[in-house]
Amino acid sequence: MASNYPLGYDDERFQSIVNQNFHCLICYNVLKDPVMCRRNEHYFCRGCITEHLRRNSHTCPTCADELSVETLQDVPRIVKNYLNELSIRCDHYDRGCRELVQLQNLKRHVAECGFTPGVCGNQGCGETISKRDRTYHESELCQFRKLKCHNCGEISTMMAGMKTEVANLNTKMAHITRIQKRTREESKHEHETWKT
């Protein structure tokens, strides 16, 4: 089921089988941010039921009772506690993270996870890498990294000296060019004077 709103958690992410009573009646995944219809206590992911109410109707998709975002209720505490204590794989399992955390700690773990994807900070690169590999990639592997210079001070001094030399040579060349031009003009003038 492709969607633009957050679905529940895929069953395969959990260490143990999750009872079907704790699955969303819209996406059929394990409940994420669970809420329920007030009269018959049908459980849904908040994202799923909100989208259902926005797109379809203002009724519960299971019992057809009147329902709106405002009339949704929190699930009982025992349901929240059961879900919070489930062991789930990290969001970045496919990128290499093998951590199993309690569902209540998933958000914090994902925020700190070394396998969280990020973009290389070197200008021109744009490669997606894991947070834990970013420093090494940016300083050692990336073709766009800034190279370390062991003789930078000496090279900078030499470059400054060369710039001064080039400026002096340009001044001398301009002076020589002016002298050559004047000499040519004088020579041409003398040549014309001898002709007459």
| Domain co-membership, 74 together with 132 | no
> What are residue 117's phi and psi, to 5 degrees?
-75, 145
Neighbouring residues of 46: CB distance < 8 A, sequence distance ≥ 6: 32, 33, 34, 35, 72
Quick one: tokens of 12? Answer: 């395969």
| Domain co-membership, 143 together with 176 | no
Decide the pairing of beta strands 34-36 and 43-45. Answer: antiparallel
| Domain co-membership, 22 together with 103 | yes
Predicted TM-score (pTM) of this structure: 0.68
Q: Which domain holds residue 168?
A: 148-195
| Domain co-membership, 143 together with 165 | no
Name the DSSP class of 133: G
- Would you give per-residue pLDDT tens digits along the chain (196 residues)? 445 567 999 999 999 999 999 999 999 999 999 999 988 999 999 999 999 999 878 999 999 999 999 999 999 999 999 999 999 999 999 999 999 999 999 999 999 999 999 999 999 999 999 999 999 999 889 999 887 777 777 888 888 999 999 999 999 999 999 999 999 998 888 888 887 6
Quick one: tokens of 178? Answer: 């002016």
| Domain co-membership, 173 together with 161 | yes
**Inside any domain, residue 3:** no
| Domain co-membership, 18 together with 107 | yes
Distance CA 67, CA 51 (A): 13
Distance CA 8, CA 20 (A): 13
| Domain co-membership, 66 together with 17 | yes
Asked if residue 60 lies in contact with residue 76, where contact means CB atoms within 8 angstroms, the answer is no
| Structural domains of the chain, count | 3
| Domain co-membership, 110 together with 47 | yes
